[in-house]
């Protein structure tokens, strides 16, 4: 069976469009399958924030301020957590690692845990027990501080709290040290100027020792390529979807045009049936009449 050239081209175009659409659909499925797990993995692979162990503050401001000294570590921890870059934790003799080293392994003494910040080596030893880095390529940190003085000026209603601190890495190296003073007055804080001065001093100490500049450079020093990979995958996915849509639209256009041309051609061919009327002409003998069909030209006179 021989097909007309136009019909054969239309069939081939439709078949090639369907094959191309099938390949595009398969590509969309493959890219989607590869892209979705990568997005989930990127979300799950975000590193945990390094932990800063805050030791109890040493009281150098006299016995009258012992309770203030005991609350300083909690204030500083709150300020560290508010930065959002690191997570802070406090020292506790009930920590499982300390209890194991103290009672089972005998690698820690009661004197060491009773005054954990008496020497830099002692603080480093305790930090290595309770503050492990979140991953092999990360670091942990610890902060040792002291309440140096609390001064009140009754004539002006001013309270000044002075703090000192040193920030260490997990190898015992000093990152930064500093001393700050927080000030509050009864005018601005009539209820409790001392608490306001302590809060002010704690915020200054954290900003001076482990402020946003240091924390960003240390915790975000690696370039996160997961977002770039996800963005590239999204672009590929959208491109494939657009290409598939164009193939489908083009396929429909070819099918409509081919069906229209075939229907118009078949309608026009029916008009040729009128030529059958030419068989109706008959000639008589002698002076007979000539019957002319509507579809044939008139006969010449005899």
Taking only the tens place, the pLDDT of each residue in 74-91 is 999 999 998 888 889 999
Taking only the tens place, the pLDDT of each residue in 151-185 is 999 899 999 999 999 999 988 999 999 999 999 99
Q: What percent of the chain has pLDDT over 70?
A: 52
Burial of 194 (0-12, 13-18, 19+ CB in 10 A): middle
Using an 8 Å Cβ cutoff, are 178 and 51 in contact? no
Residue 106, pLDDT > 70, answer yes
301 vs 290: CA distance, rounded Å: 10
Beta partners for 9?
none
15 vs 146: CA distance, rounded Å: 82
The whole-number pLDDT of residue 247 equals 62
197 vs 181: CA distance, rounded Å: 8
Tokens of 273: 């049936």
In this prediction, residue 36 has a pLDDT band, given cuts at 50, 70 and 90, of: low
Mean pLDDT of 193-203: 94
Query: Does the domain made of 51-219 have the CATH classification 3.40.50?
Result: yes
Residue 230, pLDDT > 70, answer no
- Among 138, 163, 139, which residue's Cα sits nearest to residue 150? 163
Taking only the tens place, the pLDDT of each residue in 110-138 is 888 888 888 888 999 999 888 876 555 56
Least confident window among 42-56, 148-162, 172-186, 233-247: 233-247
Number of Cβ atoms within 10 Å of the Cβ of 287: 6
């Amino acid at each position: 069976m021989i097909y007309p050239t136009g019909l054969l081209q239309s069939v081939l175009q439709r078949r090639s469009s369907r094959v191309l659409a099938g390949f595009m659909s398969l590509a969309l499925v493959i890219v989607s399958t590869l892209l979705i797990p990568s997005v989930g993995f990127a979300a799950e692979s975000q590193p945990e924030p390094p932990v800063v162990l805050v030791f109890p503050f040493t009281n150098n401001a006299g016995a009258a301020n012992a309770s203030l000294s005991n609350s300083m570590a909690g204030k500083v921890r709150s300020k560290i957590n508010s930065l959002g870059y690191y997570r802070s934790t406090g020292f506790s003799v009930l920590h499982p690692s300390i209890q194991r080293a103290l009672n089972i392994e005998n690698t820690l003494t009661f004197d060491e845990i009773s005054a954990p910040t008496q020497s830099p080596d002692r603080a480093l030893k305790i930090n290595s027990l309770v503050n492990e880095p979140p991953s092999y390529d990360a670091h942990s940190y610890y902060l040792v501080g002291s309440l140096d003085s609390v001064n009140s000026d009754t004539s002006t209603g001013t309270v000044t709290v002075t703090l000192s601190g040193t920030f260490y890495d997990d190898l015992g190296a000093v990152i930064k040290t500093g001393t700050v003073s927080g000030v509050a007055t009864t005018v601005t804080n009539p209820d409790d100027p001392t608490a306001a001065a302590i809060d002010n001093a704690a915020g200054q100490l954290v900003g001076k020792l482990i402020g946003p500049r240091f924390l960003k450079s240390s915790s975000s020093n690696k370039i996160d390529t997961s977002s770039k990979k996800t963005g590239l995958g999204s672009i590929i996915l959208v491109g494939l979807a657009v290409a598939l849509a164009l193939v489908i639209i083009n396929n429909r256009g070819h099918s409509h045009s081919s069906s229209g041309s075939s229907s118009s051609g078949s309608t026009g061919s029916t008009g040729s049936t009128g030529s059958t009327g030419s068989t109706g002409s008959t000639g008589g003998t002698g002076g007979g009449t000539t019957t002319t069909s509507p579809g044939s030209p008139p006969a010449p006179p005899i």
